[in-house]
């Protein structure tokens, strides 16, 4: 049967290669595009306090804020001495590190003459630490997980690799990876440690198995989770429509966009709401309906504690049925793309890029991709972000975890801490710390192609904090000269676009994402998250894949009308019977 799998695997590789070859030049993913891991591992607690308010809590102490190194830090650590500290000390003998990587399809975004295996950032990392980085394979992003599973199966594992929580568990059980406990505190730099602190220990807990930290957890910017709606203001203005606040408003706008020929070509060829075969996806989703579910107080895909303190699953709650009824009605009325259920992200992006859609649901960063394509094709496309209120007039969103992937080191690798050191230098390159050079103007679009370990340990609320600081600088309440190099570049781009809107698409993207969209999030919102204990239980539950499949089918079939809305009740019963009830019992123990 393995031969069948290998054959299938090869078949898929060929398909992907062919598709990649046929597809138009891939647009680079922006800074915070989440990995395409199919299983999402939300962690952390329910109903956290308004995410982005804090000045005291999420505003880190000045010495540790990656985006703004301060005088104190520099004074305490004179230019040369940081190299002598544990997190950065170069190896006396050149150390070899074998890696693997996904993202081959993006190689074309690098400047002329640079490759994934040989670029200036990579060289800076190698020179700083005196290590020699090679790749045993580089594959397209989509096949990374499959290829890595295969590599693990054949025992051909690299020195350092990025894994998901299931692989972490398997590798740890097999004793195939190093225990990182002794190294984290000593070799991670201050920024990374502070970012872990800001998750209140949840990130490192997620990587802890039997009391040992078996991998280096990532920390995702929390801003990726809330799904907002971007709407073409130029179309709104043309049709005389007000800015949306509620689901009703979005629907009314969609209806107008379909019927009133906003692009003025005399044909009824514009879409209302776009979607994909993943209508719900935590922690982030392009063209997803997550915001509509959230507006109904439904949090599909999340395990959290209900009013009585018992663990519940969002998808099987009555509120989900209400949201589905609404979506099914929208689908029947033609408000939603009639073919969304068979489209993937790329296919729906074409609608946006082609100027045939004026509404797109997505996280804050979509101005970098795919909205930039829309503006490139039509400089009048004035996309603006909006948040959708829930039925109580508040903003509440489904959140992912802080962590969904881990860097692990192969058992027996002579210097396990080297992985942390590489991440330290990558962090410096990202934020222009410790004199790290800023070689690339479009760094935010290509960082994951440049870096040997495309992995971020970010401040959980960095996006909101930066938005506030940019706004303060615009209001002359903050001196832009205090910004880090990376922030200075972005602030320049924001000013460029304010002076001449949409003339330079790269500048427009930065302004829309970093300032306009992130500022909306910075105003604060409520969060619903999967309970951290539950997050460790369900991904490894034997019934989970089956339950998930049942859920995906039910949601799609109800929205598209293949099943009536009342089928939801049957689905809920089936879900509990097929292992859902047992799973919740396990979590309640």
Partner 1 sequence: MFKKSDSAWYTLMVLPGFILLVAFTFVPLVYSVIAFQKFNPALGIQGSPWVGLDNFAMLFRIPDARVVFTNTLFIASMKIILLEVVAIIFALLLNDLRFIPLKKAVQTMVYLTHFLSWVILAGILRSILARGGLVNDFLAIFSIKPIYFLGNPDVFPWVLIGSEVWKEFGFEAIVYLAALTAINPNLYEAAEMDGAGRFQKMWYVSIPGIAPTIVLMISLGIGSVLNAGFDQIFNLYSPIVYTTGDIIDTYVYRVGLTQGLYSLGTAVGLLKTVVSLILIGISYLAANKLANYRIF
Residues that bind partner 1 (CB under 8 A): 1-9, 11-12, 14-15, 18-19, 22, 38-39, 145-146, 149, 152-153, 155, 157, 166-167, 170-171, 173-174, 176, 277-278, 338-339, 341-342, 542-543, 545-546, 549-550, 552-553, 556-557, 560, 562, 574, 578
Nearest residue (CB) to partner 1, 83 versus 548: 548
Phi, psi for 229 (deg, rounded to 5): -115, 130
Q: How far is the CB of 338 from partner 1 (least distance, A)?
A: 6
Instruction: Find tokens 């859609």 and name the residue.
Output: 357
Q: How far is the CB of 1 from partner 1 (least distance, A)?
A: 4
Helix (H, G, I), strand (E, B) or coil at 312: strand
Nearest residue (CB) to partner 1, 278 versus 396: 278
Nearest residue (CB) to partner 1, 18 versus 62: 18
Q: How far is the CB of 455 from partner 1 (least distance, A)?
A: 20
Alpha helices in 274-382 (DSSP H): 290-295, 318-332, 345-353, 371-377
Report d(CA 444, CA 507) in Å as an integer. 12
Q: How far is the CB of 541 from partner 1 (least distance, A)?
A: 11
Nearest residue (CB) to partner 1, 193 versus 277: 277
**Of 129, 134, 125, whose CA–CA distance to 94 is shortest?**
129
Q: How far is the CB of 15 from partner 1 (least distance, A)?
A: 5
Nearest residue (CB) to partner 1, 84 versus 339: 339
Q: How far is the CB of 398 from partner 1 (least distance, A)?
A: 19
Cβ atoms of 365 and 230 within 8 Å: the answer is no
Nearest residue (CB) to partner 1, 84 versus 344: 344
Q: How far is the CB of 345 from partner 1 (least distance, A)?
A: 13
Residues listed for the chain = 589
Which contacts qualify for 132-137: CB closer than 8 Å, 24 or more apart? Answer: 132/94, 132/95, 132/96, 132/97, 133/97, 133/99, 133/422, 133/452, 134/96, 134/97, 134/98, 134/99, 135/98, 135/99, 135/100, 135/101, 135/452, 136/98, 136/99, 136/100, 137/100, 137/101
Residues 6+ apart with CB under 8 A from 348: 274, 275, 276, 286, 287, 337, 340
Task: Give the burial class of 114: count Cβ atoms within 10 A of its Cβ; 0-12 exposed, 13-18 middle, 19 or more buried.
Answer: buried
CA 228 to chain centre: 14
Nearest residue (CB) to partner 1, 62 versus 173: 173
Q: How far is the CB of 75 from partner 1 (least distance, A)?
A: 47
Q: Give the end-to-end CA distance of the chain in Å, rounded to a whole number.
A: 38
Q: How far is the CB of 152 from partner 1 (least distance, A)?
A: 4
Nearest residue (CB) to partner 1, 20 versus 516: 20
- Buried/exposed 335-350: b ≥16 CB within 10 Å, e otherwise: bbbeebbebebbbbbb
CA 492 to chain centre: 25
Q: How far is the CB of 263 from partner 1 (least distance, A)?
A: 17
**Of 335, 388, 359, whose CA–CA distance to 560 is shortest?**
335
Task: Give the burial class of 4: count Cβ atoms within 10 A of its Cβ; 0-12 exposed, 13-18 middle, 19 or more buried.
Answer: exposed
Q: How far is the CB of 210 from partner 1 (least distance, A)?
A: 15
Nearest residue (CB) to partner 1, 162 versus 236: 162
Q: Report strand pairing: 216-217 vs 406-409.
A: antiparallel
Q: Report strand pairing: 396-398 vs 359-362.
A: unpaired
Q: How far is the CB of 175 from partner 1 (least distance, A)?
A: 8
Nearest residue (CB) to partner 1, 89 versus 586: 586
Phi, psi for 478 (deg, rounded to 5): -145, 145
Task: Give the burial class of 108: count Cβ atoms within 10 A of its Cβ; 0-12 exposed, 13-18 middle, 19 or more buried.
Answer: exposed
Cβ atoms of 486 and 121 within 8 Å: the answer is no
Instruction: Find tokens 């499959």 and name the residue.
Output: 146
Nearest residue (CB) to partner 1, 49 versus 173: 173
Nearest residue (CB) to partner 1, 14 versus 441: 14
């Amino acid at each position: 049967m393995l031969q069948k799998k290998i054959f299938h695997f090869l078949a898929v590789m060929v398909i992907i290669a062919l598709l990649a070859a046929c597809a138009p030049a891939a647009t680079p993913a922006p800074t915070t595009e989440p990995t395409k891991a199919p299983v999402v591992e939300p962690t952390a607690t329910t109903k956290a306090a308004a995410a982005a308010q804090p000045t005291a809590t999420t505003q880190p102490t000045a010495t540790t804020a990656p985006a703004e190194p301060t005088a104190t830090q520099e004074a305490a650590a004179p230019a040369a001495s940081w190299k002598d500290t544990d997190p950065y000390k170069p190896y006396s003998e050149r150390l070899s590190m074998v890696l693997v990587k996904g993202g081959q399809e993006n190689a074309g975004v690098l400047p002329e003459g640079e490759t994934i295996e040989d670029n200036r950032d990579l060289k800076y990392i190698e020179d700083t630490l005196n290590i020699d980085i090679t790749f045993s394979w580089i594959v397209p992003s989509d096949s990374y997980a499959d290829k890595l599973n295969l590599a693990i199966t054949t025992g051909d594992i690299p020195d350092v690799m990025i894994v998901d929580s299931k692989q972490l568990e398997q590798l740890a059980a097999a004793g195939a990876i190093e225990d990182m406990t002794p190294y984290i505190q000593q070799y991670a730099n201050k920024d990374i440690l502070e970012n872990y602190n800001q998750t209140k220990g949840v990130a490192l807990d997620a990587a802890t198995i039997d009391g040992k930290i078996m991998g280096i957890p990532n920390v995702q910017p929390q801003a990726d989770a809330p799904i907002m709606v971007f709407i073409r203001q130029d179309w709104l203005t043309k049709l005389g429509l007000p800015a949306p606040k509620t689901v009703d408003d979005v629907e009314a706008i969609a209806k107008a966009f379909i019927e009133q020929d906003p692009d003025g070509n005399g044909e009824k060829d514009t879409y209302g709401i776009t979607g994909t075969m993943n209508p719900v996806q935590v922690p982030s989703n392009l063209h997803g309906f997550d915001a509509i579910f959230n507006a109904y107080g439904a949090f599909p895909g999340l395990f959290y504690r209900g009013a009585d303190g018992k663990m519940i699953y969002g998808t099987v709650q009555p509120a989900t049925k209400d949201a589905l009824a609404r979506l099914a009605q929208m689908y029947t009325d033609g408000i939603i793309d009639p073919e969304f259920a068979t489209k993937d992200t790329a296919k729906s992006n074409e609608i946006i890029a082609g100027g045939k859609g004026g509404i797109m649901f997505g996280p804050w960063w979509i101005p970098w991709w795919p909205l930039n394509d829309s503006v490139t094709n039509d400089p009048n496309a004035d996309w603006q972000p909006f948040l959708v209120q829930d039925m109580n007039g508040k903003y509440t969103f489904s959140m992912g975890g802080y962590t969904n992937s881990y860097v692990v080191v192969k058992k027996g690798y002579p210097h396990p801490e080297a992985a942390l050191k590489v991440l330290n230098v990558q962090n410096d390159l990202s934020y222009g710390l410790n004199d790290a050079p800023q070689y690339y103007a479009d760094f935010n679009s290509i960082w994951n192609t440049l870096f040997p370990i495309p992995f971020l340990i970010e401040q959980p609320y960095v996006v909101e904090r930066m938005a506030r600081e940019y706004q303060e600088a615009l209001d002359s309440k903050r001196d832009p000269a205090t910004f880090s190099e990376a922030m200075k570049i972005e602030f320049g781009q924001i000013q460029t676009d304010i002076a001449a809107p949409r003339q330079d698409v790269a500048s427009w993207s930065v302004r829309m994402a970093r300032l306009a969209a992130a500022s909306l999030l910075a105003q604060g919102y409520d969060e619903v998250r999967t309970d951290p204990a539950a997050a460790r239980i369900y991904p490894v539950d034997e019934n989970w894949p089956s339950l998930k499949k049942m859920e995906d089918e039910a949601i799609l079939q109800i929205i598209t009308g293949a099943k009536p809305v009342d089928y939801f009740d049957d689905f809920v019963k089936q879900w509990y019977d097929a292992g859902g009830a047992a799973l919740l019992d396990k979590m309640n123990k």
